[in-house]
Amino acid sequence: MHDTVLGVLVSGRGSNLQAIIDAIEQNRISAKIGVVISDNPEAAALQRVQKYNIPTVCIERKKFADKQAFEQAIICELQRYNAELIVLAGFMRILSSYFIHSFAGKIMNIHPALLPAFPGLNAQQQAIEYGAKLSGCTVHFVDEGMDTGPIILQQAVPVYSEDTVDTLAQRILRQEHIIYPQAIQLYIEGRLHIKGRKVIILPEYKGDK
């Protein structure tokens, strides 16, 4: 039984990537990160992983004639490192159906809202402006829509009247760092079953392997 190989896509600071690394080191995720790929050469996430000896690759969109060529380059790297589950950790590009079909049912994302509420960018600001009393985060499988894929786990947090985008974002982020590793481990244990729009979480198997 080998550790599942994760391919992580990042664009920014990589705080969820760090939470995943920490969970692996604490044996809460039985996986290893095969490669971290960024579309942004300035992404702090790339510096973050250097001390862990995790391979990193930067693939910039502007160096490719079109989106499919750009995505093909990412797919090639994920395949080169034998990635079995693709984890989006603040990857700021919409993936095409071409990419999604290449890893059907094997791409996870985390979104800082309780989907289907507040999809897309600036979810925390959307929640505040709407006057929501609850927001939170959602781990979901990626499909061809904007934050519309089957929901794996969610965690709610309160929205206070005095909240700013930053204070709400921080409260949500603390929960993201808890539930994203949990969702990844459920996948690794084979406990996530997609049935239409729903993700059924199967009970833990207690018998002999």
Phi, psi of 127 (to 5 degrees): -65, -45
Phi-psi sector, 161: left (phi>0), alpha (psi -120 to 50), beta: alpha
Whether 52 and 127 share a structural domain: no
8 plus 52 within the same structural domain: yes
Q: Which residues are catalytic?
A: 111
- Assign 203 to helix, strand or coil: coil
Give yes or no: residues 133 and 79 share one domain: no
The pair of structure tokens assigned to 19 is 């939470």
- φ and ψ of 7, to 5 deg: -115, 120
Domain count, the chain: 2
Q: How far apart are CA 105 and CA 148, in angstroms?
A: 13
Shared domain for 1 and 93, answered yes or no, is: yes
Strand order, beta sheet including 4-10: 56-58, 31-38, 4-10, 85-88, 107-111, 134-141, 151-158, 198-201, 192-195
Is the peptide bond preceding residue 119 cis, with omega within 30 degrees of 0? no
Answer whether residue 83 is part of any domain.
yes
Same domain, 166 and 82: no
pLDDT (tens digit, 9 = 90+) per residue, 130-170? 999 999 999 999 999 889 999 999 999 999 999 999 999 99
Q: Is the pTM of this model over 0.85?
A: yes
What is the domain extent for residue 174?
A: 110-138+153-209
Are 89 and 132 part of one and the same domain?
no
Q: Is 71 exposed, middle or buried (0-12, 13-18, 19+ CB in 10 A)?
A: buried
Exposure of 33 by Cβ count < 10 A (0-12 exposed, 13-18 middle, 19+ buried)?
buried
- Same domain? For 133 and 177 the reply is yes
CATH of the domain at 32: 3.40.50.170
Pair 1, 52 in one domain: yes
**pLDDT by position in tens, the chain (length 209):** 579 999 999 999 999 999 999 999 999 999 999 999 999 999 999 999 999 999 999 999 999 999 999 999 999 999 999 999 999 999 999 999 999 999 999 999 999 999 999 999 999 999 999 999 999 999 999 999 889 999 999 999 999 999 999 999 999 999 999 999 999 999 999 999 999 999 999 998 776 55
